[in-house]
Amino acid sequence: MSTPKPKITDVAKHAGVSVSTVSLALSGKGRISEATIIKVNQAIETLGYVRNTAAANLRSHTSNLIGLVLKDITDPFYMGITAGLSEQLEKQGYMLFLAQSGDDKTKQLNCLQSMIQQGVAGLIFCPVREGAQASFELIKHANIPAISIARADINVNIDYIGPDNTHAATLATKHLIEQGHRHIAYLGGTGDSLTRAERIGGYCSTLMQYGLPFKNEWIVECGKTQQQAADAAHALLNKHPKITAILCHRSATAIGAIYGAQAAGKTIGKDNYIGQEVAILGFDDAAEAELTTPSLSFVDTSTHYIGQQAGLQIIRKMQQPNLPPQRIIVPPKMILRDSA
């Protein structure tokens, strides 16, 4: 037979104090002498008592849990945010409660509803585009502090923290133009992506500003994998051999584009005056970017910083519920290596 778990009454009996004294010692509230706190802690350690935090939260109407709902926990963008957010919240005594919804609006609603039922103190989530309004209404009805973190801005009355996609694409395109490129393509993403739309907006407007051509056939969709990007880059360069530079929608696209360009008989690098060379410049830096041949250049927005700012902002919202919604836009920076 298994040994029954010690209860708070066992701790009180072992320490020779009342149950209420043990509760006060655990919560850090009330006027209790240092000697009594030491006795309670010794009893807890001796008995191996583990506090039921969920039950304590229900009794005190407080929680140390912050809910985080992401579309894809394996996506490097969200991995970076999660790391920065967790780091910031742990400093303040909070823990993350993580869920994944994909692009399914019903699943996202279910994730949010479950977290609300678990009594989280705040919610941070990446809205699913078609289900954003329903999610916001659910959160508003529950009266829980919430923040939207996303790759692209969804214009609603809620705190938002995210990248400046248009400016990132402007920086990238301008850099390629200043390197001498005049035939620049955009590879990756899908037509329903707001992030892609914002980036293509920056890319096209910069080309127009410099009086350079852009063609719809130079703007190519492809899947998320490196293989899909390699196939798409190969086909693009075979069909349009005048292209001398490719902007890549995500890090995996940039890595795949290296192989696709090489399969099309191109070398990768900065010197576009060589007829067979193509520059590759991606969005969102990746750890393996320095290990590719050549090393990959990126326009990067610090996801770790986005996560840290989300942690600070959700705590502000919990402490000051009447704060007006804030929009925190994290600027991009160029990370130049050998590919562009």
Write out pLDDT tens, residues 149-197. Answer: 988 877 678 899 999 999 999 999 999 999 999 999 999 999 989 999 9
Asked if 103 contacts 128 with a C-beta cutoff of 8 angstroms, the reply is yes
* Structural domains of the chain in order of their starting residue, each with its CATH number: 8-51 (no CATH), 65-163+304-330 (3.40.50.2300), 165-300 (3.40.50.2300)
3-state secondary structure of 127: coil
Asked if 251 contacts 298 with a C-beta cutoff of 8 angstroms, the reply is yes
Q: What residues contact 264, with CB distance under 8 A and at least 6 apart?
A: 233, 234, 237, 238
CA 69, CA 53: separation in Å to the nearest integer? 22
Instruction: Supply the DSSP symbol for 29.
Output: -
Q: Note the pLDDT of residue 59.
A: 46
Q: Note the pLDDT of residue 25.
A: 78
pTM of the model: 0.80
Cβ density class 162-191: b for 16+ within 10 Å, e for less? bbbbbbbbbbbbbbbbeeebbbbbbbbbee
When computed from its CA atoms, the radius of gyration of the chain, rounded to whole angstroms, is 26
Q: Note the pLDDT of residue 151.
A: 81
Strand partners, 70: 100
CA 176, CA 80: separation in Å to the nearest integer? 27
Q: Note the pLDDT of residue 153.
A: 73
Q: Note the pLDDT of residue 128.
A: 87
Q: Note the pLDDT of residue 4.
A: 76
CA 313, CA 326: separation in Å to the nearest integer? 9
Q: How far is CA 29 from CA 13, 22, 26, 61, 62, in A?
A: 20, 10, 8, 15, 14
Instruction: Supply the DSSP symbol for 15.
Output: H
Q: Note the pLDDT of residue 58.
A: 44
Dump pLDDT digits (tens) for 187-227: 999 998 999 999 999 999 999 999 998 899 999 999 999 99
| DSSP output for 45-104 | HHHT----HHHHHHHHT---EEEEEES-TTSHHHHHHHHHHHHHHHHTT-EEEEEE-TT-
Burial label for 32, CB within 10 Å (0-12, 13-18, 19+), is middle
Q: Note the pLDDT of residue 272.
A: 58
Low-confidence ranges of the chain (pLDDT < 50): 58-61
What's the distance, CA 215 to chain centroid?
32
Structure-token pair, residue 228: 């899909």
Instruction: Supply the DSSP symbol for 39.
Output: H
Structure-token pair, residue 2: 């298994």
Q: Note the pLDDT of residue 88.
A: 95
